[in-house]
Amino acid sequence: MSATTKYGIIGTGVMGQEHIQNINIIENAEVVAICDTNEGSKNKAKSLVKESTKFYNNLNELISANIADAYIIATPNYTHIDVLEQILVTNKHLLVEKPLCTTTEDCKKFELLSKDYSKIIWTGMEYRYMPPVKHLIDEVHQNVIGKIKMLSIREHRFPFLHKVDDWNRFAINTGGTLVEKCCHFFDLMRLVVKSEPVKVYASGNQDVNHLDEKYDGKTPDIIDNAYVIVDFENGARAMLDLCMFAENSEYQEEIVAVGDLGKIETFVPSSASGRDSSEVRIGMRKDNVTKSTEVKVDKEILLAGHHHGSTYYEHLAFINAIQKNEEPEVSLRDGLMSVAIGEAAENSIKENRVVFMKEFNL
């Protein structure tokens, strides 16, 4: 990993800025170009990059400049499909922030458009790279707990942050909470259990958040709490417990995997807790023994974002794949499937029924 990877950032809102801050602390990476139409976001980005970084007002200017090796797409969700269609002409490496698109159909459309693309297309699934979560995944895949039967993920956190023009207040822009926010968790489910989803059933509502807000006379319509159950082809089942009006939780995520031999659990501290470490606990059924491993994250890495160090480690993996000409660890298909499960969960709530994944013709 000696050559410098030159990045162009498309969209410098909250997540775009997090990418910049993490690239800044990677020795062999550099942000050379920024593209954004919002002056406020561009001004914040200017404070984070070198004076030599070039700024562009539209995508065509950025593409024509041709100074980057890789592009990060961190624009609002509903713009992804249009940006992706345009950026394909560059034949550069791409890291697309989650969700890949707001609908399964748009994801399938992009998958078809990019089938002959020769460079890496990587879906930004940061939660895979949170150190305690990565530790849990590795233990499960080493069959420490035997054959996995159940996986539960609990996220109790703060409401959605304010973003540029508050685009994230409406499901038409985001795909809905279970696509926008929870595609991370549905991606983790597929990754951990190593199987494909068969059916999804969910219960959820907007009970607390944003109900006193108005935008052009309209009240936000995004779900703020839900339970989602996903059944997989291999017989495993997974559950998501989401609450977005639980700001004061010490741990923002808790993940438990149970196999026929034992159980593994881990905890991801909330940003407000200030904790730089967590633990992974393993308990075995027969010998009644529990082992606990502390997993720490360097404080410089923690300060570079809101995802417990994961964005930093994601970029290390992305750069490694570029330099070694390897397949992406998080594929376009992974991005598509995470959106499809999220859309199935949203549909299950709206239509009060079980949704079968075969309905999406995947």
Question: Is 70 strand, coil or helix?
Answer: strand
Position 1 scores a pLDDT of 45
- Tell me, yes or no, whether 314 lies in a domain: no
Query: Do residue 115 and residue 144 come from a single domain?
Result: no
Q: Are residues 142 and 258 in the same domain?
A: yes
Report the alpha-carbon distance of residue 73 to residue 223 in Å, rounded: 25
At residue 2, the pLDDT reads 58
Give the separation between CA 342 and CA 68, rounded to whole angstroms: 32
Distance CA 124, CA 332 (A): 10
Tokens, residue 333: 């298909």
Give phi and psi for 263, each to the nearest 5.
-135, 140
Are 37 and 80 contained in the same domain?
yes
Question: CB-based burial of residue 126 (10 Å sphere; 0-12 exposed, 13-18 middle, 19+ buried)?
Answer: buried
Domain boundary among 126, 159, 183: 126
Q: Which DSSP symbol is given to 89?
A: G
Q: What is the token pair recorded at 189?
A: 């489910």
Tokens at 353, concatenated = 């029924």
User: In this structure, how many other beta carbons lie within 10 angstroms of the beta carbon of residue 44?
Assistant: 17
pLDDT digits (tens, 9 = 90+) for 253-269: 999 999 999 999 999 99
- 318 in a structural domain: no
Contacts of 170 (CB under 8 A, 6+ apart): 215, 218, 220, 221, 222
DSSP assigned state of 355: E
Asked if the structure places residue 106 within a domain, the reply is yes
Check whether residue 50 and residue 150 sit in a common domain.
no
Domain assignment present for 317? no
Q: Give the CATH number for residue 224.
A: 3.30.360.10
Domain containing residue 292: 127-305+328-360
Domain identity same for 210 and 345: yes
Task: Give the end of a domain, one of 90, 109, 126.
Answer: 126
Whether 313 is covered by a domain: the verdict is no
If one counts the domains in the chain, the total is 2
Report which of 164, 153, 99 is spatially closest to residue 130, judged by C-alpha positions.
Answer: 153
Domain match, 178 and 297 both: yes
Same domain for 250 and 148: yes
Could you give the 3-state DSSP secondary structure of residue 55? strand
Instruction: Indicate whether 310 belongs to any domain.
Output: no
Q: CA distances (Å), 255 to each of 30, 150, 264, 285, in order?
A: 34, 11, 8, 18
Same domain flag for 35 and 142: no
Specify if 185 maps to a domain: yes
What's the pLDDT at 67?
A: 97
Tokens (6 digits) for 256: 């438990």
Identify the pLDDT of residue 203.
Answer: 98
On the 0-12 / 13-18 / 19+ scale of CB atoms within 10 A, 31 is buried
**Same domain, residue pair 144 and 105:** no
CB atoms within 10 A of CB 40: 11
Q: Which of 92, 126, 160 is the last residue of a domain?
A: 126
**Structure-token pair, residue 330:** 């998080």
What confidence score (pLDDT) does residue 274 get?
Answer: 78
CATH number of the domain enclosing 85: 3.40.50.720
Same domain, 58 and 172: no
Q: Hey, what amino acid is at 48?
A: L
Q: Report the chain's C-alpha Rg in angstroms.
A: 20
Q: Which of 24, 65, 57 is CA-nearest to residue 39?
A: 57
In a domain, 266, yes or no: yes
Kindly state whether residues 119 and 133 are assigned to the same domain: no
Residues of the chain scoring pLDDT < 70:
1-2
Q: State whether 139 and 49 are in the same domain.
A: no
**Identity of residue 159:** P
